[in-house]
Structure 1
Amino acid sequence: MSMREINFDGLVGPTHNYSGLAHGNVASMSHEGLVANPREAALQGLEKMKSLMDSGYAQGVLPPQQRPDLGALRELGFAGSDARVLSRAADEAPQLLRAVCSASSMWTANAATVTPSVDAPDGRAHFTPANLQSSFHRYLEPATTGRVLASIFADEARFAHHPVLPATPAFSDEGAANHTRLAGEHGEPGVHLYVYGRQAFGGDGIAPRRYPARQTLEASQAVARQHGLSDAQTVFAQQHPEAIDAGVFHNDVIAVGNGPVLLYHEVAFRDEQGTLDALRERMASPLIPVRVPVEAVSLDDAVASYLFNSQLLSNPDGTMTLVVPGECQEREAVWRCLQDHLLAGHNPISEVVVKDVKQSMRNGGGPACLRLRVALSAAERAALSGRVLLDDALHGELVAWVERHYRDRLAPADLADPALASETLAALDELTGILRLGSVYPFQLG
């Protein structure tokens, strides 16, 4: 079975803006109120996808959410025409208007958790959309996410879709941002590392004090049960509370793994040695841990640069490429660590590629946030529905689509403009045609 990992990147939505909605996300909070450039954001994302495709990596595309979510505003008591709903929300509850205009679905690492068929007892790839209940603006996403995934991975003989976990604090689920699959190669049975911030039931009470811990152990365990994973295939590790309080709201801001390699910061896990020992015990191939000590990169530098929110990509010759945001070059300690500690060290990382994703970074998302990793066999890739695997033709159409429909300036005050809502619906309707997804948005379902 020829397993290959596909990075499905989320397209940046037309309402990309800086509303500072994510408490605990330092970059998002610090850029609140700035003027955003949705067109540039979408084109930066597409450029990253195209460059990786050109380098031989399999690349997919996922559509953004329908925003503004006028249905959510109506459920909260705002009535009348679309223009009236937007106007009232802007006057009476501007924080709700910002939330229903969020373009955070671009960070598809939060969209779902995926288990490849090689690990599942029924031989199918499994998907669970994340409930994202820790923040209202993301809680609005799972229904559409589920329809999109079901549309693309539609073959029930090969793909299994599970319901979203109960949207309660006890089962707070943030998706693949807190999940890493480790194996010698993609076709080898893997071990699933689930990282949580807190326990809802029991535990010793040790938790972050400044920022909330979003993922619960109970949510991670439930997803693993849905996918049929055994104890021998799973490791549950608590994220270090100090990291969360420094702005590491997801594990993928402090650790990234692929194949047998786990690149992580010294303060990533509360029990570093216990986590490594559990992985080594379960993996069929030797684990290759690449540890970055706090003396080399401080927590503040890790968060500011998003060094660990980079894409770690496997190459056919056994080496790995690390795709980092441009901010890594701007921090001397981080850049020195990349050159002297990673590239010059005894590990498979042989190349560092720098990508400009500043529009995303200002809202708190680096290269790794922008993609959902799905390992598929050749037969599973052939069974995909829609037109979502990137090639030159699709890339060209998507660039032209963005240039037709996206604004190059969007301030938080512009979110009340009814023309923006109309522009977005027209753009998304055209996009589902380009991607051949059928009706996945609320406005298309009636």
Structure 2
Amino acid sequence: MSEPSIAGRIYEPAAYAAKSLEGCFWVQTAPDPAQYPRFEGESSVEFAVIGAGFTGLSAALRLSEAGAEVAVLDAHPPGWGASGRNGGFCCIGGAKASSAQIRTRYGAAEAAKFHAAERAAIEQVSDRIATLGLSVDRHSEGELQLAHSPKVFAQMRAEAAQISATYGVQADLIGPGDLASLGLNAQGMHGGLRLDLGFALNPRKYALGLARAVQDRGGRIHADSAVHSITREGEFHVLHTAHGRLRARHLLMATNGYSSDTLPRWMRSRYLPLQSSVIVTRPLSENEIAAQGWSSDLMAYDSRNLLHYFRLMPDRRMLFGMRGAVRWSDASQRAHRTATRAHFDAMFPAWQGVETSHFWSGLVCLARDLVPFVGALGQGERVYGAFAYHGNGVAMGSWSGDQMARLALGQPTDLPNFFQRSPQRFELGPLRRLSLPLALLHYRIQDALS
């Protein structure tokens, strides 16, 4: 299999190579017997989707269920990118902008519509899993945010009732003295807020389940089919791969953090990938679990801007993830693995001697205005895109793909209006990744002061 070589990508080539998936725990849990033939020759299709992750597969599923002819092209097999290598948190989120910022910018009605979308996204994933009969190792009914300082816990206390009202679910405040008795003992935490919304899953099993559903409904999925350029021939968009040309009346872009500034040119500088890395331990014994005092299966994260996210999985392995790397090389990956392990040891000191058998990284996607985008790429072009879930793509990416397909079909959507605005471009253009060290330093200082 040849490695994709696509202009306009802003990370080192190693970030996009097949080798970057090595070490991912999820791969061993879900072998994929399906066939995804390389796209070759010339053909035409009504709808072409670029990207076979949650967004692209959800869009393709909606299109195929509507009886439309659809082909999905990807440089790798389905679920290879962020969709098949994330932490598996199906939860509220999608925007890095706060609720207050969204209300100030777009108004209370739009903020309410966004929060409804967050909940609808979780419900849609749950419904899809049930309808398609997917086995995804689901657990953790609800999510937990832990306060990394007394000041943050005071804010949680003040906001708990409003959060409960916003999402229409139970929000339980957990005092610092109650964490250990609930099996939530993590060093340096000062209480938490449990929200009765969301669940954890195996993201690769979910992604592969979506891919099977697309194929079962007549959709075509082509792996090893990186799109190198897009041209126009009359009413058709022509997708050029190394081995063929696909003509499509409608084009849906679903590449998120693995996007290119040149596919299409509209994408230039409107997205910024950020690395997120995960370690997974060997299975923990009951004695080891008791020694640390973390026995809950709740998916959890702390209140830092540069958050840690973690959960005890059904097989009693502990998953722990964080962000912060800004380069993609063998040396930088080794350094970030060491850093991730150090953060894990600080939070769970009783497990310092437990082997972490797996480590991997992937690319999440940010927008300059810190909210998702789902909409048309230009006027009258029949090109649509969905991206920028800010590290919460399981639910929001799935929902956004479905909404993007509805747009392409001319169906009504539930999109907040601000999802459809053209995202601002990042300063520094193709060099925008150079801003990440300064931004990360800013967030570290904020976390230390909060």
TM-score range, shorter chain: under 0.3
- TM-score when normalising by structure 2: 0.27
- TM-score when normalising by structure 1: 0.27
